Structure 1
């Protein structure tokens, strides 16, 4: 959450700022400093993971937000670490490996099986699955059978007329364009960038809003400003349960993960690994799924999740088999240059 600061500062506020910049005191083995993405997700992590782990391990988890890769890099390079464990997306795991930011995961402590359907990483432990997919207005399309079923349908403005929204970022949009153009999910990578931009040229006149992720698309659907868009599965699930008239397609949703990493050089390496092991237990991951609608990685967690929640989870087998992959290594190598091209394409 971004907080606005007043123009004037009291002496107390200035002292607080100095203390904040100084960071948390370096922890002994009984305190582990964890950085995550904050907001409601951070509150869910506290309830589902940190509180139970503190009791089980007899430690204190000092959790903070928000994950900042630039700050992590500065900490590791300077040797002045404020954090021990970081919640990052798995694209950032890959980037951090290239920059030497992470300790190898000690799979003598962490059980390899807890990553479930995710790829096992030498330097990160995936713990949630996230899907980003097509959403549509159920006012416009009340029957699921007659609603858009794929990204080809999203691009088909004759069969499915109406204003649309896509996210203002290149990361997923190129992939959706190729899926719309008939590329099979298992043949997506390496992405044919030229083909993707040609396909985007076709839909561009019909995009009325280039939305800001993750929630603006749902606001546009709810207001009737657009009839189709895309959003993460957890945002759709929350909106649908609140009665927002929004439908979802698991077909061709892009599946990604978040992982736990351990910062290079932490003096609390063993305590960090024990914490990750504890946070990978099925009961804890099942609780997080209930609170967030993110899919648990540990395959033993899924049966513990209530059926009314499982239908919203990307790691539910029936949902997962319909998903399209996200190649973190390919995007890690190409995203910076593609962002520049994306920005130029948007304004031309």
Structure 2
């Protein structure tokens, strides 16, 4: 689950529950709370009687999802997509389903969240008679989640700091003698653990199963230079302030940085870690099978290409990857030449080990 909005990058395992009472109060008040923006003018509890409720991570995603999917779906079916940007974290989905008052039909989640919540009975199995599994690149068609888009964690770097010899691998990222300067990784360690595992080689290698102790110890050795980021804007500011020279970041943010800095910040696909953005359906969703119809609608290659154009995420439909316009291929992590340099996230490993990995990483950050 990738967030385009700076202050909405909460991980799937970070509990930030939004109970139904809070949601209803916010909707009835007709305003957002904090960074949470609801695109629903009436109470959220009634939204799915009027349309399909889709919860994601922010207002800009809502606007661009409307352009890519929403308008065409409403034209085809007469049913609106009602966006809620409050953040469908794992804890929020769990709380909502446990309350028995489910107000969301579809949520944007990580692959490992689909596995974890599916195992605990909080998600409906995807109706693969309505959703076409052949239109989802393997291995992103989960029993309780359907891949909707793709994004990667990549190595971004300051080209002015390394004009003569740019870093080309995670081995270089962990080599602060040859490549001095600060480093930054995601606060919730996705991407960072894989980078640590690949740091022993000049070329990308399969990092799974991750050795948690090894990954944490390698990151600990970086600690004097290590910072963590929780939002795309935060890590961008680190580059602007020159407090870091390299970072493990979302490729979407790296693309934006490269453009906005006019090449002063660059990135490499080498060793990138490809992740799926997954559509999940909370158990007991009010819209029933219509949720799967919308997911099926979003599989259309042209619509996924438009989403790539708007958000710089990659498609998951192989037909969209094949038909991607030349102007967008450099941004698309699923293009064969880009994908060949990367590894694909092992969502099952993260589902099984997220809690332990998070605890060990948090402990390392507190160590002196």
Residue 178 of structure 2 corresponds to residue 156 of structure 1: no
Helix, strand or coil: the match of 1:256?
strand
Aligned to 2:298: 279
Aligned to 2:19: none
What do residues 165-211 of structure 1 show as CA deviations (whole Å, max 9, x unaligned)?
A: 3333333322211110239855422211222223223322233x333
- The question of whether the paired residues in 2 share the 8 Å contact of 1:250 and 1:323 is answered with yes
Instruction: State TM-score, norm by structure 2.
Output: 0.83
Residue 241 of structure 2 corresponds to residue 231 of structure 1: no
Aligned to 1:330: 349
Aligned to 1:8: none
Q: Indicate which of 201, 212, 228 corresponds to 1:182.
A: 201
Taking the TM superposition and a 5 Å limit, the aligned residue runs for 1:66-105 are 66=86, 67-105=88-126
Residue 316 of structure 2 corresponds to residue 297 of structure 1: yes
Helix, strand or coil: the match of 2:141?
coil
- The question of whether the paired residues in 1 share the 8 Å contact of 2:104 and 2:286 is answered with no
Taking the TM superposition and a 5 Å limit, the aligned residue runs for 1:246-261 are 246-261=265-280
Evaluate the alpha carbon distance shift between residue 26 and residue 200 of structure 1 in structure 2; reply closer, same or farther with a 3 A threshold: closer
Structure 2 unaligned blocks of 5 or more: 9-24, 32-39
- The question of whether the paired residues in 1 share the 8 Å contact of 2:182 and 2:243 is answered with yes
Residue 45 of structure 2 corresponds to residue 24 of structure 1: yes
Aligned to 2:71: 51
Aligned to 1:35: 55
Structure 1 unaligned blocks of 5 or more: 4-11
What do residues 304-328 of structure 1 show as CA deviations (whole Å, max 9, x unaligned)?
A: 4332221011111111111123222
Helix, strand or coil: the match of 1:251?
strand
- The question of whether the paired residues in 2 share the 8 Å contact of 1:118 and 1:257 is answered with no
- The question of whether the paired residues in 2 share the 8 Å contact of 1:287 and 1:305 is answered with no
- The question of whether the paired residues in 2 share the 8 Å contact of 1:166 and 1:229 is answered with yes
- The question of whether the paired residues in 1 share the 8 Å contact of 2:305 and 2:315 is answered with yes
Aligned length: 336
For the aligned residue pairs, the C-alpha RMSD in angstroms reads 2.7
Whole-angstrom CA distance in 2 between matches of 1:54 and 1:110 = 18
Evaluate the alpha carbon distance shift between residue 13 and residue 210 of structure 1 in structure 2; reply closer, same or farther with a 3 A threshold: closer
- The question of whether the paired residues in 2 share the 8 Å contact of 1:33 and 1:63 is answered with yes
- The question of whether the paired residues in 1 share the 8 Å contact of 2:106 and 2:282 is answered with yes
Helix, strand or coil: the match of 2:63?
helix
Evaluate the alpha carbon distance shift between residue 222 and residue 274 of structure 1 in structure 2; reply closer, same or farther with a 3 A threshold: same
Evaluate the alpha carbon distance shift between residue 122 and residue 159 of structure 1 in structure 2; reply closer, same or farther with a 3 A threshold: same
Helix, strand or coil: the match of 2:180?
coil
Evaluate the alpha carbon distance shift between residue 247 and residue 31 of structure 1 in structure 2; reply closer, same or farther with a 3 A threshold: same
- The question of whether the paired residues in 2 share the 8 Å contact of 1:217 and 1:230 is answered with no
- Larger CA Rg, structure 1 vs 2: 1
**90-99 or 15-24, larger mean C-alpha shift:** 15-24
Whole-angstrom CA distance in 2 between matches of 1:116 and 1:232 = 20
Taking the TM superposition and a 5 Å limit, the aligned residue runs for 1:121-270 are 121-142=142-163, 146-182=165-201, 187-207=206-226, 209-244=227-262, 245-270=264-289
Instruction: State TM-score, norm by structure 1.
Output: 0.88
Whole-angstrom CA distance in 2 between matches of 1:14 and 1:50 = 21
